[in-house]
Structure 1
C-alpha cells in the first residue's frame, strides 16, 4: 500500500516540557489510524504538529511522498477537526461548509454543488439554511465533518471528534464516519481515549502514553500480543497479576500456578507480571476438575445481574481486583460465598520486570 504519512523521530514540546518523544509512524493511503491513550498523553499536540499548527523540536514529516517539515499549515493539504464543532455563528450551515472552498477560487456553481454533496453525506442537506444556534450538538458535529470532508484533504485529522456526546449519538456518528471515510477513500488519523471508538473506527491503533508510542498494530495484534501491561489494559480492561517465578510454580497475588502450564519461561526468582482479560475468564463449579494448562482463580462473590440473556457476575479476586464475568447460568458458590474462575494459561501474556504502569 502507498505510504501517505511518515513521521521520523518526531519530538515536540509545550511550555518547555517535552510532550512527544521520538515518534516514528507510517500511515497508508486510505487507512484510518487511531491514537488511543489517556488525557495528557500528547494526542492533541501530535495531531497539531502534523497539521503544522504546533512547532516541533526534532524530526521530519513526509506527506504523500513530499517532505513538508518546514511547510506552513495553510500549504499542507491537511484538515483538522477539533473536539468542538467551532462553526461560525454568523454563517448558515451551507456558508460554514463553503468557507474553506472560497480560498480555492472555484466557480460558484461548482462550490454550491460540492457543499450540497458534503451536507448530503452527513445527513444535513435539508438544514443548509439553518444557523448554528438552531442546531443540536450532534448536528453541529455533522456540519464540522462536512466542512472538513468537502475540502478533500490528503489527510484528515480527528481530535476526539465524538467527545461529550450521548452514547447512542456517538454510535451513530461512528458508523457514519467509518462509512464515509471508506467510501471516499480518505486517509484519517483519530485521537481518542475510548477503546471502543478506536476499535470500531480504526484499521490500526497506536497506544500513546506520556508522549511515546507503547505499541501499534491492529486491535487483534494489540490484544493477543501486547508489548507491555499498559497496552493490554487499554485494549481490554485487563487485570494485572504479579508474582515471582520459581522453579516449579509462579507465586502470584491470586495463587500459585505450575510454570509447566505456560508456553514460555523465566529465570528463577524473576519478578513476572501477567495480564488476564475478563472475557477469557469462565465461571466454574467449586469442585470442578481442571486441565493441565488451565488455571484456577478464586475470589469473593459480590453480586450478579440477570440481563435476561445472561448473568453478569461481579467478583473480587483475592488480590482485591474486581472483575465482571458473564455466564448463561447462575454462579455456583461455596457456603461462605467463594467462587472459582478458570482461564487458559496460553491466554495470559507474561512480562518480566514490569516498569511502566498507568
Structure 2
C-alpha cells in the first residue's frame, strides 16, 4: 500500500517549550489513523505542523514521497478541520463550501456540482442557502467537514472532530464519519481523547503522551501486547500492580503468585509491574477452587448495581485500587465484606519496572 505521509524525528516547540519529541510516524493510502492521548499531549500541534500551520524545529516530512518539510501550507494538498467550525458568518452554507474551490479556477458549473456532492455526503444538501447562524453546532461541523472534503486533499486532518457534543449527536456523527471516509477512500489523521472514538473510527491508533508516541498499532495489538503500562491504561483502563520477582514467586501489592504460571521471566529480585484489565476479572465464590494458571485477588466489596441484565460490582482491591466487575448473579462475600476475584495469568502483561507515568 502506498505511503502517503512519513514523519522522521519530527520535533516542534511552543512558547519555547518542546511539545513534540522525535516523532516517527507513517500513514498509508486510505488509512484512518487516530492520535489518541490526553489533553496537552501535543496532538493538535502535531496536526498543525503536518498542515504547515506551525513550524517544526527538527525532522523531515514527506507527502506522497516528496520532501515538503519547508513547503508553505497553501502548497500542501493537506486540509485541517479544527474543533470549532470557523465558518464565514456572512456567507451561505454553499458559499462556505465553495470558498476553497474559487482559488482553483474551476468552471462555475463544475464547482456547483462539487459543492452539492460534498453537502450531500454530510447530509446537508438541502441547506445550501442557509446562513451559519441558522445551523446547530452539529450542522456547522458537517459544513466544515464538507468544505474540507470538497477539496479532495491528499491528507485530511481532523482535530477532535466529535468533542463537546451531546452523546447521541456524537454517535450519529461517528457513524457518518466512518461510512463516509471509507466510501471516499480518504487518508485521514484525527485526534481524540476518547478511546471509543479511536477504536471505532480508526484503522490504526498511535498513543501520544507528553509529546512522544508510546506505541502504535491496531486496537487488538495495543490491548494484547502493550509496550508500557501507560498504553494498557489508555486502551483498557488497566489496573497497575507492582511487585518483586523473588524466589520463584511474584510478590505484589495484591498477593503472591508463582512465577511459573507466567509466559515470561525476569531476574531474581527484579522489580516487576503488571497490568490487569477489569474486563478480565471474574467474580468468584470465596471458597471456589482455581485452575493452575488462574490468580486469585482479594478485596473489599463497596457496592453493587442491578442493571436488570447483570450485576455491576464495585470492589476495592487490597492495594487500594477500585475496580468494576460484572456478573450474572449476586456477588458472594464474607460477613466482613471480603470478596474474591479471578484472572488468568496469560491476561496480565508484565513489565520490568521503570519510571512510568501511572
Work out whether the TM-score is over 0.5. yes
Partner of 2:339: 339
Q: Distance in 2 between matches of 1:92 and 1:300?
A: 60
Q: Which 4+ residue blocks in structure 1 deviate beyond 4 angstroms?
A: none
Structure 1 residue 60: deviation in Å?
A: 0.7
Tell me the TM-score normalised to structure 1 length.
0.99
Partner of 1:278: 278
Task: Find out whether 1:88 has 2:88 as its counterpart.
Answer: yes
1:210-259 Cα deviation digits (max 9, x unpaired): 11110000000000000000000000001000011112211111111111
SS of corresponding position for 1:267: coil
Q: Distance in 2 between matches of 1:353 and 1:332?
A: 34
Partner of 1:198: 198
Task: Find out whether 1:114 has 2:109 as its counterpart.
Answer: no
Task: Find out whether 1:78 has 2:78 as its counterpart.
Answer: yes
Structure 1 residue 353: deviation in Å?
A: 2.1
Task: Find out whether 1:250 has 2:250 as its counterpart.
Answer: yes
For structure 2, the residue ranges without an aligned partner over 5 or more in a row are: none
Q: Distance in 2 between matches of 1:303 and 1:112?
A: 60
What is the Cα-based RMSD across aligned positions, in Å? Answer: 0.8
Q: Distance in 2 between matches of 1:285 and 1:354?
A: 35
Structure 1 residue 66: deviation in Å?
A: 1.0
Partner of 2:165: 165
Q: How does 1:77-156 map to 2 (within 5 A)?
A: 77-156=77-156
Structure 1 residue 356: deviation in Å?
A: 2.1
Task: Find out whether 1:326 has 2:330 as its counterpart.
Answer: no
Structure 1 residue 354: deviation in Å?
A: 2.4
1:70-100 Cα deviation digits (max 9, x unpaired): 1100000000000111111111111111111
Q: Distance in 2 between matches of 1:245 and 1:53?
A: 49
Task: Find out whether 1:290 has 2:290 as its counterpart.
Answer: yes
Partner of 2:215: 215
Q: Distance in 2 between matches of 1:353 and 1:312?
A: 32
Structure 1 residue 164: deviation in Å?
A: 0.5
Structure 1 residue 342: deviation in Å?
A: 0.4
Partner of 2:263: 263
1:164-207 Cα deviation digits (max 9, x unpaired): 00111111111111111110000000111111110111000011
Q: Distance in 1 between matches of 2:228 and 2:143?
A: 40
Tell me the TM-score normalised to structure 2 length.
0.99
Q: Distance in 2 between matches of 1:181 and 1:232?
A: 28
Q: Distance in 2 between matches of 1:354 and 1:168?
A: 41
**Count of matched residue pairs:** 358
SS of corresponding position for 1:213: strand
For structure 1, the residue ranges without an aligned partner over 5 or more in a row are: none
Structure 1 residue 304: deviation in Å?
A: 1.1
SS of corresponding position for 1:84: coil
SS of corresponding position for 1:339: strand
Structure 1 residue 355: deviation in Å?
A: 1.1
Partner of 2:16: 16
Q: Distance in 2 between matches of 1:324 and 1:142?
A: 37
SS of corresponding position for 2:94: helix
1:95-141 Cα deviation digits (max 9, x unpaired): 11111111111111111111111111111111111111111111111
Q: Distance in 1 between matches of 2:136 and 2:305?
A: 35
1:3-42 Cα deviation digits (max 9, x unpaired): 0100011111111111111111110000000111111111
